[in-house]
Structure 1
Amino acid sequence: MRRSNKDRTEATRQTLMDHARELFVERGYNETATPDIVAAAGVTRGALYHHFADKRDLFLAVIDREAERVAAEIAGAAGEAVSARDALVRGIATYFSAMAVPGRSRLLLLDGPAVMGIEGGRATDCDHAEASLRDGLEAYLRETGSDLAGLDPLTRVLSAAFDRAVLAIAAGESRETYEQAIIRLIDGLVTRPSR
């Protein structure tokens, strides 16, 4: 069965992104050159520039795809939850598993923010994993009758804690310890009725 032009175009785009990802992980953004990407992908420079304005544009597409994959994994795990807290706990474990994919923490937490800048990195996070976290926190706080004031800054602070935990785990620290620490933080958000 013959593929359509649209299918071939998308296949070329994905091939470029796949090979670029490998090189960005192996060498880093600054040490990866576009001639190396097109050679690895087996396409011409013209094909690269047909799909992406430049190396930065290709890198941003790789970052966005990685962030989408993390968010999709979290959503899949949270969808099986029996309560908002269970969804958060499942989301925590899934986030750590998703970020353990080789190269992902480097791309999303180190090189991504360095290339995109703080605001660009925040925007990507806000659209994906942080959005999942915010939704989960809101559901949990509503479910427990807790105060929703300051939900957005609280989400950003917790998101930063998740990212620091991922980097610590990647450096060899105990994943279980960090999962438990994040759960304790989240459980501490619940407003207890005064006596």
Structure 2
Amino acid sequence: MQKVRVQPNAQRSAQTRQALLVAARSLFVEKGFAATSTPELVERAGMTRGALYHHFRDKAEVLHAVLEEEARQVAEEIEKAAPANTSPVDALRVGSVAYLDAMAVQGRTRLLLIEGPAALGADRMATIDEGHAAASLREGLEAAMPGRHVAALTNLLSASFDRAALDIDGGDDKKAVRAAMLFLIDQVVAPTP
């Protein structure tokens, strides 16, 4: 007699949740949040609506989880880009390119900069960003230029980075946009006379 190996509940639950998130990401990128229905989401995931509502309160909560994961991955790429012994200014420059590269992952710009703000609102998106890429940017600016309006500069540069990602996603010259972002970083962190 052959033994049947049963997965622990926690493992099955994690796999179900992950399948729902993968399906949701795919649909949100293809169709957008508003045009994606929960029945097609569970069908794409090969799950039931009961499984969806066991893990998530509603479709907006699914989107929030997808966006958290996307934002986490962007921040991880930024953090990995600069070696530990890099100067603060060089870390900002390397992190700038890493952000643009991370945002070039298919669908990520649409999710984080279009679907997320439209569906969840600016405040919730700011909270997600603050826990990830904006935190990296703020820390980099604090290290490179302590005491120089870091909070305001973080917000302004963050908006510039988002615009750059949208431009690249829209087909603008990637090298030119990167060069412009690096120029902007250099101007911001330049010593004041």
Counterpart mapping for 1:116-127 below 5 A: 116-127=120-131
User: What is the root-mean-square deviation of aligned Cα atoms in Å?
Assistant: 1.5
Q: 1:65 Cα deviation (Å)?
A: 0.7
- 1:145 maps to none
Compared with structure 1, are the counterparts of its residues 193 and 53 closer, same or farther at alpha carbon in structure 2 (3 Å cutoff)? closer
1:34-92 CA-partner distances (Å, limit 9, x unpaired): 00011111111100000000111111110111001111111111245521122111111
How many residues end up aligned between the 2 structures? Answer: 189
Please list every run of 5 or more consecutive structure 1 residues that lacks an aligned counterpart in the other structure. Answer: 143-147
Note if 1:113 corresponds to 2:117: yes
Query: Using the alignment, how far apart are the partners of 2:56 and 2:192 within structure 1?
Result: 55
- 2:176 maps to 177
SS of residue matched to 1:166: helix
Percentage of pairs with the same residue: 47
TM-score (norm. length: structure 1): 0.92
Q: Is the 8 A contact 2:27 2:41 kept in 1?
A: yes
Which residue identity does 1:177 align to in structure 2? A
Query: Using the alignment, how far apart are the partners of 2:192 and 2:151 within structure 1?
Result: 23
Please list every run of 5 or more consecutive structure 2 residues that lacks an aligned counterpart in the other structure. Answer: none
- Larger displacement relative to structure 2 (82-91 or 155-164): 82-91
Note if 1:41 corresponds to 2:49: no
TM-score (norm. length: structure 2): 0.92
Q: Which runs of 4+ in 1 moved over 4 A?
A: none
1:97-117 CA-partner distances (Å, limit 9, x unpaired): 111111100000001001111
